[in-house]
C-alpha cells in the first residue's frame, strides 16, 4: 500500500502561482460571462482583461518586493522559480500586454474582437508566457510555451483574412517542428543527467566534467533550434515576415515583443551556464548566429516594399542584437537585455500601433499591400502629427539619441565592450547604421515625397479611437522621455539580474 | 540667469520651435527673426560675461542623468567653443532674416530653430554622451531641410548625408564606450565627462586604435578626403539656407571635435598620425581645388573650395602647437563667415535666375554693381587676401605647421595660392566681360533685405581681418592650456618633443639673469 503523502501546504508556497493564475481566472470568467449572456460588446471584455492584467501586475509587484527582501523563492515542489529575471520577464510580458489589449478598441469593426474567446485566449496566452519564465523545469517551460503558442496561432487566424489563415497555419506547422526540437533537446538533457531542472542539469554536467560532450552538443543544438525559432534567429526566421504580414498590425507588434522576451529568459537560463562552463562550440555558433541574424535581416529589410514586412525584418534584427547580450553573458549584458526590451516594447508597439490606426478595409488601386511605403507618401502634408510621431518611432528604432532605443543600444554595445567582444561591438554599431537606411526610407516617404492625389489625412487615422490614440501617445512619451526614468530603471534591473546570479 | 545661460542657449530655440507650431504662417518669419535675434543677444551676453583671462571651462552646469552609468548633463564653454557658439547664433539669425520666398515656410523656420538647439548643444556639451546626442540630432533637421526644400536630387543627397555621418558617428560611439570603460577600469567608476577623460593617460597602442575610431566619426563630418563625397551633393541640392548653415557651422563640428577629443585624449596617437593626416589634408587642399576648377556650377565651386579650406583647418589643428591650433580655430570662424556669405551670395543670384550655371552669366558687374562688390570682397577673403578674416587663420595655421614640417607647409602654401585661381576664374566668368545673356540685362541689384544679411558679414570679415585680437586672445588662452595638457600627458619621447611645453623651465631663467648680473 502506498504511503500517504504528507506535505504541509506552506512548503508548497502556493503564492508563487498567484501571478499566473490571475489571468487564468480572468479567462475563465470571460468564458462564463459569455455562456450566461452572449453578444456583449468588446469594450466589456477589454476592460475585464485590463483589470485582470492590472491585478496580475500587483501580484508581480508583491513578489518583486518579496524577492528584494528574501531573495529567490521556490514553490510547488520546486517547479516554480521566482527569481529576479522571472519577475522582470513577467513585468515586461504583462506590461506590454496591458498596452496591447486596448488596441482592440478600434474605430472600424474587426472580426476577431467580436468573439469573447479572443480575450479568453489572450489571457491564457499571457499566463502561459508567465509560466515559461517563472520556472526552472524544462517540462513546465514546454507546457507554458505550448499553451501560449497554441493560443497565439488561434489569435492570428481569428483576423479572418486569407493571409491570416496562411500565416497561422505556417506558424503552427513551424511551431510544431520547434516544439519537437525542444522536446528532443530536453530528452537528451534528461538522459544525460536524470533531471529536467536546469540548475540540476548544470550541476550534474559540471560534476562529471562534461564527459559526454557530444551529447551535450546535440541537446544544445536542438535547444538552439527551437528557441531560435521562437525569437526568429536566422536561419529559423523564415516564418516571421509572412506571419507578421498575415496577422493584424497590433498582433504583429505584440508578437515582436512578448513571446520573444519569454524565450529570451529561457535562453538565458539554458545558455548562460553552458557558455560559462566552457562549451566553446556554443559560443562560436551563437556568435555566428547573432552576427548573421543582425546583418542578413537588415539587408532583407532594405528591399521590402511594405512597411509591416520591413518592421518584421527589423524586429528579427533587433532580436539578433539582443541575443548578443546572452552571448556576452555578463551581469551588465543581461541587464542590458531587459533594459533594451523595455525600451523596445514602447517604441515597437508604438510603431505597429501607428500602422494599426491607418488600417483600411479596402485598398485603393494604387496601393499594393496594406501598408506599402507609398501609402505614407507626403503624410507630413496631410497628417502632420501622425507623420511626426511615426518619424519619432522610426528614429528611435534606428537608435538616434536621445530617443528610447538609443539607450538600450548604448548599454548593450557597452556591455560588449566591457565583456571583451570588441569586434562584435563594431559589428553591432555598423548594423545600426545599415538599419538606419530602411527606417529613413519611411521618413523620406512621409516627409519628402508628394502625397498621392486624392488622399486626405483621414486615411492615416481612420481606425483611431481615443483608446488607440492614448496608447500611441503613451508610447511616444515613453520614447521621448526615456532618459528621465533611465537611471532608476537601470538600477532596478541590474539589482534584480545580479541577485538572481546572472 | 547667468548660471544657466548655456542651458538657456540650448533650449530657448527648442522651446521657441515648439511654440512656433501655434503661430500663424504669415507671422512665422518675424517670429523666427525675433527668436534668433534674442538667441544672438544671449550669445553676446555670454561673450560679455566671459572672462577671457581664464583658460578653463566657464559657466559650468552639471546635472546627473544616469549616474550609475556615468552619464551626466555637463555643459561649459571656453575660448575654443565660445566663438563658434556665437557664430551659430549669428548665422541662424542671418539665415532666417534673409530667407526668400519658400513653400512651407513655417516648417522650415521650426526646423531651423531645432537645428539651432543642436548646434548650440554640440559646442557646449562636456559629456561625451550629451555631445553625441546633439551631434546626432543635428542630422535630423538637416535631413529634412535638404530633403524637403532641395533640388531635384534632394532625396539622394539628404539620405547620403545622413547615412554617411550616422555610420561614422556609430563607430565613434563605440570609441566613446571604450574610453568610458577604460576610465571605469582605472577608477572603478563610469564616467563620460570629457574633463574626467582628460586625466586619463592611455597606453600608446590603445591610443592608436581609439584615435582611429574617433577619427572616422570626425573625418566624415569635416569632411576629409576620401570621405568627402557626400558634401558636394548635400551642398548642391540643399536650399540656400541649408548650405549656409552646413558650411558655416555643421562642418565645424568635426574640426572642433578633433580639438576637443582627439588631441587632448590621445596626444601620442595625434603625433603618430600627424604626418599621414597632414598628407591627407594637403591632398584635400590640392585635389578639391582642382575639382573646383572643373565645375560649371558656381555653388559647386564654393562647396569644393569649402572642402579645400577645411583641409587648411585640419593642417593647423595637427600642427599640435599653439599657433597652429589657435589659427585653425580662428580659421573655423573665418571660414564660417566667408563660406556662409558666399553661399548666401549664390542664393541671391539663384533667386533671380533659378540657375547656378556660370555659363549663364557674364558681365554681371555692369548690371549688379553692389552685388559684384560684395561678392568680390568675400571672394578675396576666401582666397586669403591679407587684412581679411581668412588670412589671419590661414597664416597662423601654416605658421604652426611650419614648425613641424617645412616641406609640407610649403606644399600647402603653394596649393592655397594655386587654389585662388579657380575662385578668380569663376569670378571672371560671372562678373566680367560683356553681358552676353539677354536674361541678365535687367537683373535687379541686391535688395534691402539681402543687404541686411550681407553687410554685417562684410564688416565682420574686414574688421576681424584687421584686428583679430578680441577673438584671438581668449582662443589663445584656452589653446595654451590644451597644448600644455597634451605635453604633460604624452608618454613617448617623440610626442614630448613634437608638442612644445609652455612652462619655461626655471633653470634657464636663472642662468639668464645670472648671466646678466655677471656682465
Concatenate the DSSP letters of all residues of A57-86 into one string. HHHHHHHHHHHHHH--EEETTTTEEE-HHH
Per-residue burial over A333-342, b = 16 or more CB atoms within 10 Å of its CB, e = otherwise: bbbbbbbbbb
State what percent of residues in chain B have pLDDT above 90.
47
Residue A67 near residue A26 (C-beta atoms within 8 A): no
My answer on whether omega of the bond before B226 falls inside 30° of 0, hence cis, is yes
What residue of B is the nearest CA neighbor of A484?
B65
CB contact under 8 A, B65 and A433: no
Q: Chain B contacts of A298, Cβ < 8 Å?
A: none
Is residue B151 a contact partner of residue B236, using CB atoms and an 8 Å limit? yes
Q: Chain B: nearest CA to A181, how far in angstroms?
A: 38
Helices B28-48, B5-20: inter-axial angle, 10-degree rounding: 180
Three-state DSSP class for residue B77: strand
Contacts of A74 (CB under 8 A, 6+ apart): A13, A16, A80, A81, A82
Tell me the C-alpha distance between A497 and B194, whole Å. 30
* Mean pLDDT for all residues in chain B: 88
Higher pLDDT, A460 or B219: B219
Residues 6+ apart with CB under 8 A from A190: A138, A196
Distance (Å, rounded) from C-alpha A270 to C-alpha A225?
13
A420 C-beta neighbours (distance < 10 Å), count: 10
**Cα A476 versus chain centre, distance:** 19
Where on the phi/psi map is residue B320: left (φ > 0), alpha (ψ -120 to 50), or beta?
A: left
CA A160 to chain centre: 23
Backbone angles phi, psi at B62, to 5 degrees: -145, 135
Q: Where does the pLDDT of residue B504 fall: very low under 50, low under 70, confident under 90, or very high at 90 and above?
A: low
Answer for the pair B129, B71: CB distance below 8 angstroms, yes or no. Answer: yes
The C-alpha atoms of residue A479 and residue A476 are separated, in whole angstroms, by: 5
Q: At which residue does the C-alpha cell 601620442 appear?
A: B268
Phi/psi of residue A108, nearest 5 degrees:
-85, 160
The residue in chain A having the minimum alpha-carbon distance to the alpha carbon of residue B153 is: A448
Q: φ and ψ at B77, to 5 degrees? A: -135, 140
Average pLDDT over residues B41-56: 90
Chain A residues within an 8 Å CB radius of B154: 448
Mean pLDDT of B108-121: 93
Of A401, A440, A444, the CB nearest to B137: A401
* CA dist list (Å): A141 to A144, A186, A338, B103: 5, 10, 19, 59
B476: burial class by Cβ within 10 Å (0-12, 13-18, 19+)?
Answer: buried
3-state SS class at B320: coil
Neighbouring residues of A71: CB distance < 8 A, sequence distance ≥ 6:
A499
Tally the C-alpha atoms within 13 A of residue B434's C-alpha that lie toward its C-beta: 3
Element containing residue B75 per DSSP (H, E)? strand B71-77
User: Closest Cα to residue B433, out of B352, B357, B349, B364?
Assistant: B364
Q: Residues B91, B92, B94, B98: is their CA dihedral positive or negative?
A: positive
DSSP-derived secondary structure letter, A452: P
A151 grid coordinates: 493560443
Question: What is the rounded distance in angstroms from the CA atom of residue A335 to the CA atom of residue A332?
Answer: 5
Q: Give the pLDDT band of residue B505 (cuts 50, 70, 90).
A: low
C-alpha distances out from residue B103 to A442, B26, B350, Å: 22, 12, 16
Place of cell 597634451: B486
Residues 6+ apart with CB under 8 A from B457: B94, B337, B340, B341, B344, B378
| Alpha helices in B128-203, H assignment, sequence order | 128-137, 139-149, 154-187, 194-198
Partners of B68 on chain A (C-beta within 8 Å) are 487, 490-491, 494
**CB of A433 less than 8 A from some CB of B:** yes
The rounded distance, in Å, linking the Cα atoms of B292 and B119 is: 28
Residue A433 to chain B, least CA–CA distance (Å): 5
Cell of B95: 539665415
Contact B173 A413 (CB under 8 A): yes
Instruction: Report pTM.
Output: 0.93
Cα separation, A133 vs B317, whole angstroms: 56
Per-residue pLDDT at A1: 63
**Does A440 touch chain B if contact means CB atoms closer than 8 Å?**
yes
SS3 state at B277: helix
| Tens-binned pLDDT, residue by residue, of chain A (502 aa) | 677 777 777 777 778 888 999 999 999 999 999 999 888 888 899 999 999 999 999 999 999 998 888 888 888 788 888 889 999 999 999 999 999 999 988 888 888 888 889 999 999 999 999 999 999 899 999 999 999 999 999 999 888 788 888 899 999 999 999 999 999 999 999 999 999 999 889 899 888 888 888 888 899 999 999 999 999 998 889 899 999 988 989 999 999 999 999 999 999 999 888 888 877 888 899 999 999 999 999 999 999 989 999 999 999 999 999 999 999 989 999 999 999 999 999 899 999 999 998 887 777 777 777 888 888 888 888 888 889 999 999 999 999 988 999 999 999 999 999 999 999 999 999 999 999 999 999 999 998 888 877 677 777 888 888 999 999 999 999 999 998 899 999 999 999 999 988 8
Contact B178 A395 (CB under 8 A): no
Map out the domains of chain A as residue ranges. 16-499
Q: What is the DSSP letter of A135?
A: B
Q: Are B268 and B204 in contact (CB under 8 A)?
A: yes
How many other C-beta atoms lie within 10 A of the C-beta of residue B22?
Answer: 6
Q: Which residues of A touch B132 (CB under 8 A)?
A: 401
Cα distances from B413 to residues A103, B271, B309, B395, B407, in angstroms, run 67, 22, 12, 9, 10
The percent of chain B in helix, strand and coil, each rounded to the nearest 5, is 75, 5, 20
Check residue A330 and report its DSSP letter.
S
- What was the pLDDT predicted at B489? 87
Cβ count within 10 A of residue B63: 10
Size of interface A-B (CB pairs under 8 A): 89
Is it the case that residue B100 has pLDDT exceeding 90? no
Full DSSP string of B429-463: HHHSS----GGGTT-----HHHHHHHHHHHHHHHH
Q: Looking at the partner chain, which of A380, A400, A448 has a beta carbon nearest the beta carbon of B155?
A: A448
Helix H or strand E segment including B235: helix B230-237
Q: Is the peptide bond before A402 cis (omega within 30 degrees of 0)?
A: yes
Burial of A474 (0-12, 13-18, 19+ CB in 10 A): middle
Total number of residues shown for chain A: 502
Residues 6+ apart with CB under 8 A from A347: A393, A396, A397, A403, A404, A405, A475, A478, A479
**What are the distances in angstroms from CA B19 to CA A502, B31, B48, B441?**
47, 10, 29, 44
Q: In chain B, which residues touch A (CB < 8 A)? A: 64-69, 107, 129, 132-133, 136-137, 139-140, 143-144, 147-148, 154-155, 158-159, 162-163, 166-167, 170-171, 173-174, 177-178, 180-181, 184
Distance from CA of B20 to the nearest CA of A (A): 14
State whether B163 and A440 contact (CB < 8 Å): yes
Distance in angstroms (rounded) separating the CA atoms of residues A139 and B267: 59
B137 and A402 in contact by Cβ < 8 A?
yes
Chain B neighbours among A 228-287 (CB < 8 Å)? none
Cα–Cα dist B79/B76, whole Å: 11
Put simply, the chain A residues between 368 and 387 with a CB less than 8 A from any chain B CB are 380
Chain A residues within 8 A of B140 when measuring between CB atoms: 395, 400
Determine which of B20, B73, B136 to mutate to test the interface with A (most A C-beta atoms within 10 Å). B136
In this structure, are strands B58-66 and A73-75 parallel, antiparallel, or unpaired?
unpaired
Contacts of B64 in chain A (CB under 8 A): 487
- Hey, are the CB atoms on A417 and B178 less than 8 Å from each other? yes
CB neighbours of residue B388 within 10 Å: 26
**B144 and A447: CB-CB below 8 Å?**
yes
Does residue A430 belong to the interface with chain B, where contact is any CB pair within 8 Å? yes
B183 pLDDT band, cuts 50/70/90, is very high
Contact B170 A400 (CB under 8 A): no
Q: From the list A401, A426, A440, which residue is nearest B159 (CB)? A: A440
Instruction: Judge whether residue B514 has pLDDT over 50.
Output: no
List the helix and strand counts (H, then E) for chain B. Answer: 25, 2
Asked if A195 and A201 count as a contact pair (C-beta separation under 8 A), the reply is: yes
Q: Mean per-residue pLDDT for B437-444?
A: 80
Interchain proximity A432–B170, CB inside 8 Å: yes
Amino acid at each position: 500500500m502506498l504511503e500517504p503523502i504528507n506535505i504541509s501546504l506552506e512548503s508548497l508556497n502556493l503564492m508563487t502561482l498567484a501571478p499566473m493564475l490571475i489571468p487564468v481566472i480572468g479567462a475563465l470568467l470571460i468564458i462564463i460571462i459569455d455562456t450566461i449572456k452572449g453578444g456583449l460588446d468588446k469594450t466589456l471584455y477589454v476592460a475585464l482583461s485590463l483589470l485582470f492584467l492590472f491585478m496580475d501586475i500587483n501580484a508581480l509587484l508583491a513578489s518583486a518586493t518579496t524577492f528584494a527582501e528574501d531573495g529567490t523563492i521556490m514553490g510547488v515542489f520546486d517547479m516554480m522559480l521566482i527569481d529576479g529575471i522571472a519577475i522582470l520577464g513577467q513585468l515586461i510580458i504583462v506590461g506590454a500586454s496591458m498596452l496591447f489589449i486596448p488596441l482592440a478598441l478600434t474605430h472600424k469593426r474587426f472580426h476577431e474582437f467580436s468573439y469573447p474567446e479572443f480575450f479568453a485566449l489572450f489571457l491564457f496566452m499571457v499566463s502561459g508566457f508567465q509560466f515559461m519564465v517563472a520556472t526552472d523545469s524544462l517540462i513546465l517551460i514546454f507546457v507554458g510555451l505550448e499553451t501560449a503558442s497554441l493560443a497565439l496561432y488561434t489569435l492570428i487566424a481569428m483576423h479572418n483574412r486569407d493571409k491570416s489563415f496562411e500565416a497561422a497555419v505556417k506558424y503552427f506547422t513551424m511551431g510544431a517542428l520547434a516544439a519537437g526540437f525542444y522536446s528532443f533537446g530536453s530528452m537528451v538533457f534528461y538522459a544525460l543527467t536524470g533531471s529536467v531542472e536546469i540548475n540540476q542539469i548544470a550541476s550534474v554536467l559540471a560534476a562529471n566534467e562534461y564527459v559526454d560532450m557530444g551529447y551535450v552538443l546535440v541537446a544544445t543544438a536542438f535547444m538552439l533550434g527551437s528557441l531560435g525559432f521562437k525569437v526568429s534567429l536566422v536561419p529559423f526566421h523564415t516564418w516571421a515576415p509572412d506571419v507578421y504580414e498575415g496577422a493584424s498590425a497590433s498582433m504583429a507588434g505584440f508578437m515582436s515583443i512578448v513571446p520573444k522576451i519569454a524565450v529570451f529568459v529561457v535562453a538565458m537560463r539554458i545558455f548562460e551556464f553552458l557558455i560559462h562552463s566552457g562549451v566553446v562550440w556554443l559560443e562560436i555558433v551563437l556568435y555566428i548566429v547573432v552576427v548573421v541574424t543582425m546583418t542578413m535581416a537588415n539587408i532583407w529589410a532594405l528591399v521590402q516594399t511594405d512597411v509591416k514586412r520591413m518592421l518584421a525584418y527589423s524586429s528579427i534584427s533587433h532580436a539578433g542584437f539582443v541575443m548578443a547580450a546572452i552571448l556576452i553573458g555578463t551581469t551588465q549584458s543581461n541587464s542590458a537585455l531587459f533594459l533594451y526590451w523595455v525600451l523596445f516594447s514602447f517604441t515597437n508597439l508604438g510603431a505597429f500601433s501607428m500602422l494599426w490606426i491607418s488600417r483600411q478595409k479596402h485598398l485603393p488601386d494604387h496601393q499594393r499591400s496594406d501598408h506599402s511605403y507609398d501609402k505614407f507618401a507626403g503624410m507630413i502634408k496631410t497628417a502632420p502629427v501622425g507623420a511626426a510621431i511615426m518619424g519619432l518611432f522610426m528614429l528611435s528604432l534606428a537608435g538616434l539619441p536621445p530617443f528610447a532605443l538609443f539607450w538600450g543600444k548604448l548599454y548593450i554595445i557597452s556591455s560588449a565592450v566591457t565583456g571583451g567582444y570588441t569586434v562584435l561591438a563594431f559589428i553591432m554599431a555598423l548594423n545600426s547604421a545599415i538599419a538606419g537606411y530602411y527606417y529613413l526610407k519611411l521618413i523620406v516617404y512621409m516627409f519628402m515625397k508628394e502625397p498621392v492625389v486624392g488622399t486626405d489625412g483621414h486615411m492615416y487615422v481612420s481606425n483611431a479611437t481615443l483608446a488607440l490614440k492614448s496608447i500611441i501617445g503613451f508610447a511616444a512619451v515613453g520614447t521621448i522621455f526615456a532618459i528621465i526614468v533611465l537611471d532608476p530603471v537601470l538600477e532596478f534591473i541590474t539589482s534584480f539580474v545580479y541577485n538572481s546570479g546572472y | 540667469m547667468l548660471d544657466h545661460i548655456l542651458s538657456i542657449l540650448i533650449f530657448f530655440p527648442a522651446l521657441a520651435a515648439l511654440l512656433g507650431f501655434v503661430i500663424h504662417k504669415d507671422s512665422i518669419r518675424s517670429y523666427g527673426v525675433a527668436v534668433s535675434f534674442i538667441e544672438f543677444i544671449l550669445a553676446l551676453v555670454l561673450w560679455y560675461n566671459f572672462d577671457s583671462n581664464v583658460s578653463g571651462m566657464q559657466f559650468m552646469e552639471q546635472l546627473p542623468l544616469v549616474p550609475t552609468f556615468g552619464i551626466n548633463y555637463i555643459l561649459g564653454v571656453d575660448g575654443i567653443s565660445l566663438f563658434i557658439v556665437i557664430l551659430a547664433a549669428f548665422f541662424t539669425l542671418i539665415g532666417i532674416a534673409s530667407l526668400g520666398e519658400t513653400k512651407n515656410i513655417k516648417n522650415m523656420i521650426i526646423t531651423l530653430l531645432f537645428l539651432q538647439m543642436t548646434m548650440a548643444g554640440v559646442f557646449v556639451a562636456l559629456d561625451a554622451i550629451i555631445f553625441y546626442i546633439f551631434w546626432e540630432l543635428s542630422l535630423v533637421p538637416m535631413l529634412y531641410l535638404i530633403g524637403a526644400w532641395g533640388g531635384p536630387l534632394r532625396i539622394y543627397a539628404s539620405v547620403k548625408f545622413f547615412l554617411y555621418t550616422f555610420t561614422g558617428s556609430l563607430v565613434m560611439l563605440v570609441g566613446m564606450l571604450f574610453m568610458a570603460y577604460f576610465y571605469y577600469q582605472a577608477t572603478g567608476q563610469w564616467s563620460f565627462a570629457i574633463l574626467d577623460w582628460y586625466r586619463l593617460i592611455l597606453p600608446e597602442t590603445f591610443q592608436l586604435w581609439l584615435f582611429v575610431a574617433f577619427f572616422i566619426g570626425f573625418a566624415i563630418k569635416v569632411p576629409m578626403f576620401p570621405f568627402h563625397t557626400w558634401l558636394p551633393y548635400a551642398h548642391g541640392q540643399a536650399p540656400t539656407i541649408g548650405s549656409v548653415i552646413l558650411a558655416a557651422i555643421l562642418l565645424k563640428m568635426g574640426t572642433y571635435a578633433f580639438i576637443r577629443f582627439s588631441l587632448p585624449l590621445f596626444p601620442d596617437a595625434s603625433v603618430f598620425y600627424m604626418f599621414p593626416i597632414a598628407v591627407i589634408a594637403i591632398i584635400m587642399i590640392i585635389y578639391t581645388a582642382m575639382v573646383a576648377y572643373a565645375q560649371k556650377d558656381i555653388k559647386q565651386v564654393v562647396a569644393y573650395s569649402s572642402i579645400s579650406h577645411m583641409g587648411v583647418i585640419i593642417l593647423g589643428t595637427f600642427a599640435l602647437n599653439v599657433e597652429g591650433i589657435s589659427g585653425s580655430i580662428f580659421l573655423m570662424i573665418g571660414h564660417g563667415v566667408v563660406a556662409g556669405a558666399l553661399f548666401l551670395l549664390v542664393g541671391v543670384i539663384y533667386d533671380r535666375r533659378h540657375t547656378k550655371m556660370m555659363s549663364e552669366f557674364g558681365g554681371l558687374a555692369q548690371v549688379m554693381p553692389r552685388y559684384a562688390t560684395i561678392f568680390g570682397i568675400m571672394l578675396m577673403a576666401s582666397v586669403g587676401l591679407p587684412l581679411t578674416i581668412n588670412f589671419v587663420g590661414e597664416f597662423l595655421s601654416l605658421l604652426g605647421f611650419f614648425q613641424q614640417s617645412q616641406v609640407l607647409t610649403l606644399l600647402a602654401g603653394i596649393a592655397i595660392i594655386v587654389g585662388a585661381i579657380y575662385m578668380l576664374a569663376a569670378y571672371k566668368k560671372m562678373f566680367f566681360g560683356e553681358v552676353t545673356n539677354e536674361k541678365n540685362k535687367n537683373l535687379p541689384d541686391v535688395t534691402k533685405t539681402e543687404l541686411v544679411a550681407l553687410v554685417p558679414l562684410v564688416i565682420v570679415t574686414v574688421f576681424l581681418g584687421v584686428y583679430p585680437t578680441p577673438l584671438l586672445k581668449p582662443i589663445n588662452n584656452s589653446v595654451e592650456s590644451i597644448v600644455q595638457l597634451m605635453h604633460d600627458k604624452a608618454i613617448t619621447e617623440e610626442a614630448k618633443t613634437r608638442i612644445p611645453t609652455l612652462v619655461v623651465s626655471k633653470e634657464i631663467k636663472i642662468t639668464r639673469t645670472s648671466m646678466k648680473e655677471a656682465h
